Amino acid sequence: MNSLFNTVLGHAKRRYLAIMAYTFMLLANTAQAQTFCVFDVLGVQGPFYGTMLEYSTIARKWGVKLELKPYTNEEKAVEDFNSGVCDLISITGIRARDFNLFSSSIEAIGGINNDAQMKSVIETISRPEAAKLMAQDGYEVAGVLPIGGVYLFFNDRAINSVEKIKGKKIAILAHDLVQLRLAERLGFQALAADIDDFVLKFNQGNADILPAPAIAYMPLELFKGVGNKGLVLKMPISYLSLQVLLRSDKFPANYGQKSRTYFTSMFDSLLKPTRQAEQEILYFFPAPDGEYDNYQALLRDARISMTKEGIYDAKMMSLLKKVRCKNQSNRAECTDGKE
Partner 1 sequence: MKKSFIVLGLSLLLSNISYADSILNKSSANKFIQDFYSAIKKHDYKKLDLMVADNAKIKLHLLKMEQTFTLSKADYLQQIKANWHFATQENFELKDINYTTTQEGLSGTLSLKMIESKEILGEKSSQEHTMEVGLVVADDAIKLSELNTKTTF
Of 193, 194, 190, nearest to 182 (Cα)?
190
Structural Rg of the chain based on CA atoms: 23
Specify the residue, 67 or 293, whose C-beta has the smaller distance to partner 1. 293
Q: 30 — phi, psi (to 5°)?
A: -80, -35
Of 115, 146, 117, nearest to 327 (Cα)?
117
CA distances for 94 relative to 66, 173, 175, 311, angstroms: 24, 11, 10, 11
From the list 118-126, 154-162, 176-184, 261-269, the region that binds partner 1 by CB under 8 A is 154-162
Shortest Cβ distance from residue 64 to partner 1 (Å)?
Answer: 41
Specify the residue, 83 or 330, whose C-beta has the smaller distance to partner 1. 330
Q: Tell me which residues in 255-314 interact with partner 1 (CB under 8 A).
A: 278-286, 288-289
* 160 counts as binding partner 1 under rule CB under 8 A: yes
Specify the residue, 62 or 284, whose C-beta has the smaller distance to partner 1. 284
Specify the residue, 223 or 239, whose C-beta has the smaller distance to partner 1. 223
From the list 60-68, 158-166, 173-181, 324-332, the region that binds partner 1 by CB under 8 A is 158-166
Shortest Cβ distance from residue 289 to partner 1 (Å)?
Answer: 5
> In degrees, to the nearest 5, what angle opens at C-alpha 308 toward C-alphas 159 and 113?
45
Of 150, 71, 74, nearest to 112 (Cα)?
150
Shortest Cβ distance from residue 163 to partner 1 (Å)?
Answer: 12
Specify the residue, 138 or 286, whose C-beta has the smaller distance to partner 1. 286
Residues 6+ positions from 43 with CB-CB distance below 8 Å: 49, 70, 72
The Cβ of residue 122 has, within 10 Å, a number of other Cβ atoms equal to: 23
Specify the residue, 234 or 250, whose C-beta has the smaller distance to partner 1. 234
Strand, helix or coil at 91? Answer: strand
Shortest Cβ distance from residue 234 to partner 1 (Å)?
Answer: 7
* 55 counts as binding partner 1 under rule CB under 8 A: no
Three-class HEC string of 114-174: CHHHHHHHHHHHCCHHHHHHHEECCEEEEEEEEEEEEEEEECCHHHCCHHHHCCCEEEEEC
Q: Tell me which residues in 222-251 interact with partner 1 (CB under 8 A).
A: 223-224, 227-228, 234
Dihedral sign, Cα of residue 221, residue 222, residue 225, residue 227? negative
Shortest Cβ distance from residue 216 to partner 1 (Å)?
Answer: 16
Specify the residue, 8 or 282, whose C-beta has the smaller distance to partner 1. 282
* 22 counts as binding partner 1 under rule CB under 8 A: no
Strand, helix or coil at 85? Answer: coil
Shortest Cβ distance from residue 157 to partner 1 (Å)?
Answer: 6
Strand, helix or coil at 209? Answer: strand
* 157 counts as binding partner 1 under rule CB under 8 A: yes
Shortest Cβ distance from residue 288 to partner 1 (Å)?
Answer: 4
Contact residues: partner 1, CB under 8 A: 157-158, 160-161, 223-224, 227-228, 234, 278-286, 288-289
